[in-house]
Amino acid sequence: MSQRSARRAVLPPAAPPVLLLAAAVLALLSLAAATAAAAAEADAAPDYGAALSKSLLYFEAQRSGRLPYGQRVRWRGHSGLTDGLQQGVDLVGGYYDAGDHVKFGLPMAFTVTMLAWGVVEFGDDVQAAGEWGHALEAIKWGTDYFVKAHTEPFVYWAEVGDGDTDHYCWQRPEDMTTSRQAYRVDKDNPGSDLVAETAAALAAASLVFRRSTEHHDYADLLLRHARQLFEFADRYRGNYDSSIKQAHSFYTSVSGYRDELLWAAFWLHRATGEDAYLRYAVDHARSLAGGAGWPMTEFSWENKYAGLQVLAAKVRHQRT
């Protein structure tokens, strides 16, 4: 998706209509020839609508917490219903990680950011495929949890479960007996990378819910938490895996928090339209953009520089 967005951000000047028409006709002829050739080799074309549907269905299988009545993955049941109980907070919900039962905050937040970005850019296509409702449900399952985990302006609950004990015991999440210890970041134990990524996820998700008038209040809620989390991440700086040693062996923050701060600033600018967030990104570009000024070979939960390059290019394209 990021590659497509990047290409759209640097389109050349529009061609004359006659050339566009000729190009369209040529493209259609080429497509017809290719389709005829493909039909001779295969009984059916790839069903991308089914691929989208199954991708969203996967997230339902990863749900933690009390499952809704409309849960489509029927072999899953309620799980993790006491998450946060030992710490006196409600951390029920969210998504499990990669085949285990730990809820790691950083990759979960990045996942929701990417889900929301996909819907922001290609919402009409998602609607045409009949998956709009499922896409919103997938995003909201994550954002509801993020709002819960942000219990105070400068406190965010970053992880539930312990990867070491969890990986030694293969159980269904409905039957798990491993530790559900919860870990948090705060002023004294900062986690700017995790917190800023969560701010980015909430800001991106607010754009999705803003499209529907009935979800405006929810979009406002997400944006309010996104603002607070960005302030938290920027004011009290540090890597989350330095504060939470249990996460270091599983999701190490190699690139640090600089990319997430810029990433979150761009998403907040896009969600609010406020120049203050854009000025933050511009003013801090040199000090924070360790990899933003040259080609990147990775875009992942850990390294956001390629993604923020795309967002920056889109801002520049809109202003020219």
Name the strand (E) or helix (H) holding 159: strand 155-160
pLDDT tens-digit map of 123-177: 999 999 999 999 999 999 999 999 999 999 999 999 999 888 888 888 899 998 8
Q: Is the pLDDT of residue 16 over 60?
A: no
pTM of the model: 0.84
C-alpha separations of 208 from 42, 59, 309 in Å: 37, 18, 21
Q: For residues 129 and 46, give the distance between their C-alpha atoms in angstroms, rounded to a whole number.
A: 14
Q: For residues 20 and 275, give the distance between their C-alpha atoms in angstroms, rounded to a whole number.
A: 36
Q: Is the pLDDT of residue 254 over 90?
A: no
User: Residue 44 — very low, low, confident or very high, per pLDDT cuts 50/70/90?
Assistant: confident
Q: Which of 102, 231, 212, 234 is nearest to 158 (CA)?
A: 102
pLDDT on residue 308: 87
pLDDT on residue 320: 54
Q: Is the pLDDT of residue 6 over 50?
A: no
User: Residue 82 — very low, low, confident or very high, per pLDDT cuts 50/70/90?
Assistant: very high
Q: For residues 199 and 159, give the distance between their C-alpha atoms in angstroms, rounded to a whole number.
A: 16
Q: What percent of the chain has pLDDT over 70?
A: 83
User: Residue 234 — very low, low, confident or very high, per pLDDT cuts 50/70/90?
Assistant: very high
End-to-end distance of the chain based on CA atoms, in angstroms?
Answer: 23
* Contact assessment for residue 205 and residue 196, using Cβ atoms and an 8 Å cutoff: no
Question: What number is the average pLDDT over the span 186-213?
Answer: 96
* Contact assessment for residue 42 and residue 139, using Cβ atoms and an 8 Å cutoff: no
pLDDT on residue 294: 62
pLDDT tens-digit map of 203-222: 999 999 999 889 999 999 99
The residue with greater pLDDT, 18 or 95, is 95
User: Residue 198 — very low, low, confident or very high, per pLDDT cuts 50/70/90?
Assistant: very high
Q: Which of 187, 204, 197, 180 is nearest to 268 (CA)?
A: 204
Q: Is the pLDDT of residue 23 over 70?
A: no
pLDDT tens-digit map of 266-278: 999 999 999 999 9
C-alpha separations of 160 from 7, 8, 180, 182 in Å: 39, 39, 6, 4
Q: Which of 78, 76, 80 is nearest to 58 (CA)?
A: 76
User: Residue 236 — very low, low, confident or very high, per pLDDT cuts 50/70/90?
Assistant: very high
Q: Is the pLDDT of residue 4 over 50?
A: no
Name the strand (E) or helix (H) holding 160: strand 155-160
Helix (H, G, I), strand (E, B) or coil at 254: coil
Helix (H, G, I), strand (E, B) or coil at 158: strand
| Bridge partners, 209 (sequence order) | none
Q: What is the residue-averaged pLDDT of the chain?
A: 86
Q: For residues 168 and 147, give the distance between their C-alpha atoms in angstroms, rounded to a whole number.
A: 31
Exposure of 114 by Cβ count < 10 A (0-12 exposed, 13-18 middle, 19+ buried)?
middle
Query: 10 Å Cβ neighbour count for 125?
Result: 15
Residue count of the chain, please give it.
320
The residue with greater pLDDT, 241 or 21, is 241
